[in-house]
Structure 1
Amino acid sequence: MLVELGIQSVEILGDSMLVLKQIAGEYKCLSPSLAVYLVAAGNLLTEFREATWEHIPREENFAANELAQIAIGIQMPENCV
């Protein structure tokens, strides 16, 4: 969606330090099933002029998790905090 909108700079906030380090190329991805996603993420990042990423601890990442759940069609219960 960001590529289609012509966005050139993107900031990635993630709660998995492992995944962020893999995207940055600091760690290798040893799982063949997950390597597919790492390659896809790398290809997507080439579409942006600038990309940065930051680790957000899971307990501070509720909003991002809720957005991710909505994106895949799962709604969070209203009483979930």
Structure 2
Amino acid sequence: MGLQTVMEMKISSLEVYGDSMLVINQLLTHYEVRKDDLIMYHQMATQLLERFDFMMLEHVPRQDNQMADALANLAATLALTKDEAVNLLVCQRWVVPVTLGALQEGVNVISVLSIDVDDLR
């Protein structure tokens, strides 16, 4: 969701600081993704990261994560003017676009589609 938001903001250079060494190393292709249910998310993140002109991924140890979180919140606050607002859709589960889901056979995919007509289901 964060990468999609950054893409919509038309940002071309990105520095990503994450507290999961495993995820960072998987995105850097140092480690492979072994859990079947995470492969689609990895592919989606990789495809989004490839769209940036410059991208850096760096691991931040968990004990140092409080500062990274505070900086991220500060950056989000400073990026908006007083009269601007940003609406972010928050959900309890990630939803992988159907196009990526269709690439993986035998993997459970959740698709969310809007319907313009009344539906009794």
TM-score relative to the length of structure 2? 0.52
Structure 1 gaps of 5+ residues are 74-81
Counterpart of 2:8 in structure 1 is: 4
Question: Matched residues in 1 for 2:69 and 2:48: separation?
Answer: 19
Q: Which of 61, 64, 81 does residue 65 from structure 2 map onto?
A: 61
Structure 2 gaps of 5+ residues are 74-88, 92-121
Amino acid at match of 1:2: V
1:24 equivalent in alignment to 2:28: yes
Q: How many angstroms does 1:64 deviate by? A: 2.6
Amino acid at match of 1:24: L
Counterpart of 1:37 in structure 2 is: 41
Q: Which runs of 4+ in 1 moved over 6 A?
A: none
1:47 equivalent in alignment to 2:60: no
More strand per residue: 1 or 2? Answer: 1
Instruction: String of CA shifts for 1:23-51, please: whole Å, max 9, x gaps.
Output: 00111000010111110100111221111
Q: How many angstroms does 1:55 deviate by? A: 0.8
Larger-Rg structure: 2
TM-score relative to the length of structure 1? 0.74
Return the structure number with greater relative CO, CA threshold 8 A, min gap 6.
1
Q: How many angstroms does 1:72 deviate by? A: 4.1
Amino acid at match of 1:38: H
Specify whether residues 36 and 4 from structure 1 end up closer, same or farther in structure 2 by C-alpha distance, changes over 3 A only: same
Identity %: 34
Counterpart of 1:77 in structure 2 is: none
